[in-house]
């Protein structure tokens, strides 16, 4: 009996509720192209099919065992309460016992079952995701990336050749599946030419990112369908275990997948919010140089998947058309992303408490800008968390003149990287000194960016009220108190 026929017999037997060591009323069998998933009510059992597709190999019992163990190890990093154990099916295929006596027939990952309607893609189909949910994704991802293993500088992961292989495969497979659809083939060629040129341009950046430790053992498949919202908490599951090259990636490639998914769903505002929150937490603004390349790549991955699904013979004509339209929509998104707009640079001007940050947060979502906040980047330069207290006096510590100059020079450096990568930038700072404003006027000229200054004029009494309330709450990166405001009132230079 072949492994395939043995597993089919095993699956048939496991549809009997009496085969499980826990109460089961109803069993739902979900079959994918690489797995059998058995939903029993409280628990899920996921078996891998005995096949070899090149990019994954489950063809032997030992390989399926190893892959199950890897799936458990990798997913417990983000969902330890869901991924419970690797179990065996023992005995006869027609009468198996879980973790029982006798020869091992196959392996499965045992998981806690949750409501599939709680995945973020399904929730978003009903109503747009909330800012709270998007912020939770950014926070979870930033924390996850800070604690996972890093690839060595001489590792093949993250290298130019390793990166190009899946990119090239996307073009080949879409070309095979898209048929003679003229619009699809047109977008495909536009994206292909851009990707070839962009890959060549970014070769030094790929190597530098790996050397700097940004290639890590990531999730690998971070779209909304692999996230759920359970009792007000984010759950991330189903990472890639079967191919190390697809999870040992630049962290920005992972960020790009979620960003792209939000863009595809026409949530440009939430995509911007997510990206800004992640960057604010990690400080990885240099990674933006690669963000557009990775976002296009992720859109092409989803286009490929949609076109492959459309080619499946068991689909109805309506389903085939739906998948083709999805594939075309991803191609359009990828094509649009290759054509960045003329960059815009916006700086704020106003005293502490004038509402710069609140307004800026609304603006960056509306116009898809990346925000640089001086209060946060000043502390980052000093090795402090955003909400940490520096213990500095009004004109001392991290607020002394030379450190302020260093902070603004750093903001210029970050903004220049972002503008030259085709992104709109908003710099949130007081800009009460003329030299500070001139730095960014000169930057806009160097980068051929459209330049705007937003002036925030607020009565002094209201400024004092706001600054006192914010200082008392202690939940903001700004350390400005009344003494700081008084100094600003005395030293500000007119526009």
Domain match, 108 and 140 both: no
Domain match, 378 and 482 both: yes
Domain match, 90 and 7 both: yes
Domain match, 155 and 7 both: no
Task: Name the residue range of residue 106's domain.
Answer: 3-113
Q: What are the E-state strand segments in 40-126?
A: 43-48, 83-92, 95-98, 104-112
Q: Which of 86, 113, 140 is the last residue of a domain?
A: 113
Domain match, 328 and 383 both: no
Domain match, 123 and 254 both: yes
| pLDDT tens profile 363-419 | 999 999 999 999 999 999 999 998 888 888 888 888 899 999 999 999 999 999 999
Q: Kind of pairing, strands 369-373 and 424-428?
A: parallel
Residue 249 parent element (H or E): strand 248-250
Domain match, 129 and 206 both: yes
| pLDDT tens profile 199-235 | 999 999 999 999 999 999 999 999 999 999 999 999 9
The token pair that represents 457 in the structure block: 């004029």
Domain match, 306 and 205 both: yes
Domain match, 71 and 157 both: no
Domain match, 132 and 269 both: yes
Domain match, 305 and 249 both: yes
Find the CATH number of the domain harbouring 174.
Answer: 3.90.1200.10
Rounded to whole angstroms, what are the CA distances from 46 to 14, 37, 244? 12, 4, 20
Domain match, 399 and 444 both: yes
Phi first, then psi, for residue 92 (nearest 5°) are -100, 145
Q: Which of 303, 337, 371 is the last residue of a domain?
A: 337
| pLDDT tens profile 273-299 | 999 999 999 999 999 999 999 999 999
The token pair that represents 330 in the structure block: 């991803």
Report the predicted TM-score, pTM, of the whole model to 2 decimal places.
Answer: 0.94
Q: Which of 58, 90, 113 is the last residue of a domain?
A: 113
pLDDT in single tens digits along all 495 residues of the chain: 677 788 999 999 999 999 999 999 999 999 988 999 999 999 999 999 999 988 889 999 999 999 999 999 999 999 999 999 999 999 999 999 999 999 999 999 999 999 999 999 999 999 999 999 999 999 999 999 999 999 999 999 998 889 999 999 999 999 988 877 889 999 999 999 999 999 999 999 999 999 999 999 999 999 999 999 999 999 999 999 999 999 999 999 999 999 999 999 999 999 999 999 999 999 999 999 999 999 999 999 999 999 988 888 888 999 999 999 999 999 999 999 999 999 999 999 999 999 999 999 999 999 999 999 999 999 999 999 988 888 888 888 888 999 999 999 999 999 999 999 999 999 999 999 999 999 999 999 999 999 999 999 999 999 999 999 988 888 888 888 899 899 999 999 999
CA atoms within 13 A on the CB side of 95: 2
């Amino acid at each position: 009996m072949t492994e395939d026929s043995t597993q089919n017999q095993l699956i048939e037997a496991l549809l009997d509720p009496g085969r499980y060591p826990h109460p089961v009323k109803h069993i739902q069998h979900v079959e994918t192209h690489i797995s059998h998933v058995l939903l029993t009510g409280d628990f899920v059992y996921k078996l891998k099919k005995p096949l070899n597709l090149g990019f994954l190999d489950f063809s032997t019992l030992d390989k399926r065992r190893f892959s199950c163990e890897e799936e458990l190890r990798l997913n417990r990093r983000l969902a330890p309460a869901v991924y419970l154990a690797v179990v065996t099916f023992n005995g006869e295929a027609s009468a198996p016992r879980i973790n029982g006596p006798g020869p091992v027939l196959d392996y499965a990952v045992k998981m806690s079952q949750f409501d599939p309607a709680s995945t973020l893609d399904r929730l978003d189909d009903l109503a747009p995701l909330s800012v709270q949910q998007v912020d939770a994704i950014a926070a979870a991802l930033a924390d996850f990336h800070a604690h996972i293993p890093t690839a060595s500088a001489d590792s093949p992961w993250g290298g130019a050749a390793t990166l190009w292989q899946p990119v090239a495969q996307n073009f080949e497979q879409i070309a095979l599946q898209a048929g003679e659809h003229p619009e699809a083939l047109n977008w495909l060629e536009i994206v292909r030419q851009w990707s070839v040129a962009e890959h060549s341009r970014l070769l030094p950046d790929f190597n530098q990112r790996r050397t700097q430790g940004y290639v890590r053992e990531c999730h690998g498949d971070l779209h909304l369908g692999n996230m759920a919202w359970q009792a007000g908490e984010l759950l991330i599951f189903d990472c890639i275990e079967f191919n190390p090259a697809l999870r040992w990636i630049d962290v920005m490639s992972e960020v790009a997948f979620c960003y792209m998914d939000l863009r595809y769903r026409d949530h440009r505002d939430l995509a911007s919010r997510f990206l800004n929150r992640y960057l604010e937490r990690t400080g990885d603004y240099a990674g933006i140089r690669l963000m557009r390349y990775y976002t296009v790549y992720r859109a092409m991955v989803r286009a490929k998947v949609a076109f492959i699904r459309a080619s499946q013979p068991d689909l109805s004509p309506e389903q085939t058309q739906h998948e083709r339209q999805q594939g075309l929509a991803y191609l359009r998104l990828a094509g649009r992303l290759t054509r960045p707009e003329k960059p815009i640079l916006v700086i704020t001007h106003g005293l502490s408490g004038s509402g710069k940050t609140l307004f800026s947060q609304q603006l960056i979502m509306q116009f898809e800008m990346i925000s640089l906040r001086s209060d946060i980047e000043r502390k980052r330069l000093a090795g402090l968390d955003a909400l940490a207290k520096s213990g500095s006096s009004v004109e001392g510590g991290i607020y002394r003149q030379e450190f302020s100059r260093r902070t603004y020079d750093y903001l210029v450096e970050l903004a220049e990287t972002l503008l030259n990568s085709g992104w709109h930038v908003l710099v949130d700072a007081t800009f009460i000194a003329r030299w500070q404003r001139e730095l960014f006027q000169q930057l806009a000229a160097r980068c051929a960016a459209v330049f705007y200054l937003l002036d925030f004029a607020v009565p002094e009494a209201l400024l004092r009220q706001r600054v006192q309330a914010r200082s008392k709450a202690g939940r903001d990166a700004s350390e400005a108190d009344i003494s700081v405001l008084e100094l600003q009132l005395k030293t500000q230079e007119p526009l």
